[in-house]
Amino acid sequence: MRVFVILPAAGMGTRMAAGTGSTAAPKQFLEIGGVPVLVRSVRAFLAVARVDAVCVAVRAQERERVQAQLMEYKLGARVHMVEGGDNRQQSVSNALAALECDAEDVVLVHDAVRPLIDPATIERTIDAVVKHGAAIVGLPAVDTIKQVERTADGAIVTSTIPRERVVQAQTPQGALFGLMRRAFIEAEADGFDGTDEASLLERAGIEVAVVAGSARNFKITQPGDIELAEFYLGR
């Protein structure tokens, strides 16, 4: 059994740019403590000896920049690139098609802009995929969750969802290669666009286990997230 990691990094970072009122660089290329976000994410997985390869999906026009960063930070031969698609699902699909995997190999997909993922969580996710076939990292909900109905005036509460039945999905999200590939092929055939890998696996009737996540493993999305990440690193 081998372990492969896919980092979709072809996003434009429009929410980050919109929040600053500028045409900022895509968030995966912003720096935390002087190191690009993408580089930190790659490093996190290379720190796990069980990871055989990391596949980064990037836009064609960013390949040279990413290659330069990989060389500058000496990230080694375990890191490869593939051209990303117009959205996350297409980028992951391109990477799955490029991987030379056996059906029982483990494939993890991780947001390139979650740079503070820790090795212990990665290890637990790998173990959960091996045991259950598919798994995601999730953070228990701490706020009361309301289901609502959208109206012209906003939203009306229709019910309260018990918190013990809800988790906030994080990444990595993974599965055995054969299951992940099947879920993506079926989604493409039906024209289904999921919000994450788990949504495609669930749709394919594949049971997905949950591994405990942490508040540190947040997604760089809004202005201020870089400062928060540096705060965590400082601790």
Q: What is the pLDDT of residues 164-182, one digit of tens each?
A: 999 999 999 999 999 999 9
Question: Helix 177-190 and helix 88-98: axis angle, to 10°?
Answer: 130
Structure tokens that stand for 184 in this block: 């993506």
| Digitized pLDDT (tens) for each residue of the chain, 235 residues in all | 999 999 999 876 555 554 544 446 789 999 999 999 999 999 999 999 999 999 999 999 999 999 999 999 999 899 999 999 999 999 999 999 999 999 999 999 999 999 999 999 999 999 999 999 999 999 999 999 999 999 999 999 999 999 999 999 999 999 999 999 999 999 999 999 999 999 999 999 999 999 999 999 999 998 899 999 999 998 7
CA dist list (Å): 99 to 9, 84, 118, 177, 193: 17, 14, 24, 9, 22
Rounded to whole angstroms, the Cα distance separating 33 from 64 reads 23
86-105 core/surface letters (b: 16 or more CB in 10 A; e: else): eebbbbbbbbbeebebeeeb
Superfamily of the domain at 3-234: Spore Coat Polysaccharide Biosynthesis Protein SpsA; Chain A (3.90.550.10)
Domain boundaries, the chain: 3-234
Q: What is the pLDDT of residues 11-56, one digit of tens each?
A: 765 555 545 444 467 899 999 999 999 999 999 999 999 999 999 9
Q: Which residue has the tokens 């930190």?
A: 40
Please give the distance of CA 15 from its chain centroid, rounded to a whole number: 17
